[in-house]
Structure 1
Amino acid sequence: MIQPQTHLNVADNSGARELMCIRVIGASNHRYAHIGDVIVAVIKEAVPNTPLERSEVIRAVIVHTRKELKCDNRMIIRYDDNAAIVVDQ
């Protein structure tokens, strides 16, 4: 469960290393984002000499969450970190 002010690792090679969630995209009453949801985030840490810079506002898709995801076949999926992938605007 990702909510505003949550820090996430970046799971792609876009040049960003760490993000902070600003807003969960969707209905106005969505408080938390889960795997597959789109968020608005700000870059907190980036690799030097890449197109993405620190304090840039971007969109990202959640791919890992520490909170477990329960499937219909009694399977539980849990990751060690919260991570997202940067999406083109």
Structure 2
Amino acid sequence: MIKTQSILKVTDNSGARKLMCIRVLKGTTAKVGDIIIAVVKDAIPNTQLKKSEIVRAAIVRTKSPIHRKDGTTIRFNENAAIILTKNNSPRASRIFGPIAKEINKIGLKKISSIAPIII
């Protein structure tokens, strides 16, 4: 569960390394598939994203467990997000690491189409 002030790792090639959540859209906590407003805390030099830039991001991995209807539970080792544009398409062209299957159900199909592994 992601709250405000939570630090997330960026798992795409947009140029940012770490994000800090400053607003959760539609609720107080964010789960996998939710969209947040975040600020870039660490960025790779000479890239399109700079430190202290405000962006939209989609949560793709969380440390808190995800309970599915078939009885399985999935838990990742880190909190991770992907940076989005204003129309909810990914800003980057590559995604690193696995993403949860719940991303497909929410309507972010462009993210799942470029993901290497869907769990």
Q: Does the TM-score normalized on the shorter chain lie above 0.5?
A: yes
* AA of the residue aligned to 1:38: I
2:73 to 73, 76, 80: 76
Residue 61 (structure 1) aligned with residue 58 (structure 2): yes
Unmatched 5+ stretches in structure 2 = 87-119
Q: Distance in 1 between matches of 2:73 and 2:11?
A: 21
Deviations along 1:27-84, one digit per CA (max 9) or x if unpaired, are xxx1100000000000000000001000000000000000000001110010000000
Residue 25 (structure 1) aligned with residue 28 (structure 2): no
SS at match of 1:66: coil
- Greater share of residues in helix: 2
The alignment's TM-score, normalised by the length of structure 2, stands at 0.71
- Greater share of residues in strand: 1
SS at match of 1:18: strand
The alignment's TM-score, normalised by the length of structure 1, stands at 0.95
Identical-pair percentage: 49
Matched positions, count: 86
Q: Distance in 1 between matches of 2:82 and 2:5?
A: 17
Choose between structure 1 and 2 for higher RCO, CA contacts under 8 A separated by at least 6 residues. Answer: 1
